[in-house]
Chain A
Amino acid sequence: MKIHKYDTVIVGAGGAGMRAAIESTKRSRTAVLTKLYPTRSHTGAAQGGMAAALANVEEDNWEWHTFDTIKGGDYLVDQDAAEILAKEAIDAVLDLEKMGLPFNRTPDGTIDQRRFGGHSRNHGEAPVRRSCYAADRTGHMILQTLYQNCVKEGVEFFNEFYVLDQLITEVDGVKKSAGVVAFELATGEIHVFQAKSVIYASGGTGKFFKVTSNAHTLTGDGQAACYRRGLPLEDMEFFQFHPTGIWRMGILLTEGARGEGGILRNKDGERFMEKYAPVMKDLASRDVVSRSIYTEIREGRGCGPEGDHVYLDLTHLPPEQLDAKLPDITEFARTYLGIEPYTDPIPIQPTAHYAMGGIPTNVAGEVLSDNDTVVPGLYAAGEVACVSVHGANRLGTNSLLDINVFGKRAGIAAAEYAHRSDFVELPENPAQLVVDQVERLRESTGNERVAEIRKELQETMDANVMVFRTEQTIKTAVEKIAELRERYKNVSVQDKGKRFNTDLLEAIELGNLLDLAEVMAVSALARKESRGGHYREDYPNRDDVNFMRHTMAYREVGKDGKDSIRLDYKPVVQTRYQPMERKY
């Protein structure tokens, strides 16, 4: 076991982690621990754009953006946070441009902007061009640009280090962050990083679904590490299903495709979104579009012999426009489906995409241990966190924004905290939990296989807690997850070695997915209403009287050593917008 000491440790090198690192490296001795090489992070998969009311191509302002974000989130958004997001968006985009990001340009040479779902002029009047983009590889360009600037700033990376535990020490009755424990992939060695500040920027958790746009590595490690140490997880029932994933594969086709004029059609060729969202049509918010697609499918208007998908039709757009604005996604259709998007509509279905919930933080990125207590020295930003700027449903282009705005804020806040604070003493045997976990898995002779349990988990999640949920389906999922968690205790790995043992790490990642899936299902069961991404067929309406509040899920360990989930609730911060019915 090795012990390292840094002022600030950042867990994750995606957009949020690297944006934080650029700030904190200037201000404090910083280490970035990342399980992937930075440029492998899933921020690089983002396609469509990053929202900011630059008003480069038409009238726009950050107040409209704030409103759209709150409405898009079905009023579960903390309005003070949404205001910061929309206001600081403009500088966030300009910062990236100055760092070198090659945005597409207008004829005037300014940053070009395009339409995106849920973004409107003047509180819902019509779609507005607010998304700043670089073809359909905006995330790639953000990730590359941030990495380039990390190279410039000399950010210190520990690549292929998996953070598996969060260390917390109680000082005078206050829980404080003391550091993290990491597993080095190359050697199997365990490292303890003592740090004054720790920032989680470890991304999402989509891999508990089968059809998902998320990478294999998005297994919610950060959320799980904090949760296991008694910290709450907020709004985990809210998961976004993006309308246009490649049929059966889940690979994302950006909403930018509809922003450029693409149309969703059912088997009769009908532009069905006109029925569900007369104003915004194909550019209604994602939860609305995904439900509409499944409604078409359920009512027998799906395409193909099994009627299990619909079409994204780009055939009326000029090939030059597709080549210039959507080169990557048209290539995905060619590569993975053998389809030519110039002439063929593309078969699509909703795909599990984005975790609105996560580690609760305030607007400075500080992690909360309950509704209002901050854990000194602990920060989170990006998809791992819940500020909450996305509420019950995130608007497209608001996450690339979130990672930049709150990544930067967390980086500054963490470094400044490190400056004015001392190291917190490490707990006794700091690496114990990880050592035990690794040893148990390596030595286990149990007969359960990681791949089988993961497959069953993904199948139950897809079948029971996707776009449509009921008490019955969620209960089925809760029971199945409980069974899988039991079976997980008998899981064994074949690779017993130390070097690059990805077999072992997949087992650990599965453990995280199981814990988080349970939190998601239990939180969903208790929310007896429909709001944003959480749709209960047995409670189809939003219920502001009982459920205008954030879910806070805590892990509790009983005297018998068994763990269970305790749910609590946190008020939503409302400033100037009164909840209204959402219409698109």
Chain B
Amino acid sequence: MRYTITVLVQNHYGVLSKVSGLIARRGFNIESLAVGVTENPDISRMTIVVDCDENGVEQVEKQLNKLIPTIKVRVLKEGAYIARELTMVKVSCNAKQRAEMMNLADIMHARIIDVTATSLTLELTDTTARTETFISLLRPFGIKELVRTGISAIELGVNTTKK
């Protein structure tokens, strides 16, 4: 099962490698990891998606908590958070296909961010599931390049993950 974990860490040298190294070392597979600074510049937030069982995620949570630069770890509850990822796709697209492509972008709420005579680059911010639908719709056109950030997540409602 896929678990989304949000981690607050001190914004120190080497923390990203400490976190990713720890998870890998303990035998867990990171599906995605996104990191950025928070409203407090001394603190970064990581959103990590791991694929494992319930015992596994409990271990990941406890092990992450043991790292000294870790401030807070939270395994997000299904349905209690919003998760989004940013995807950019460069597809083959000639002048004749352009209208169809624009239509598709429109339906999926994607944006066209670059265009050439033979290609088109689209940007989508959405859930992982819708991102995958989007990619599968584009595949027949010929995907030249695909860039995904991995998801960032935030809790629903007034709750925050804070120290």
Q: Do A and B come from one complex?
A: no
Which B residues are closer than 8 A to A by beta carbons?
A: none
Which A residues are closer than 8 A to B by beta carbons?
A: none
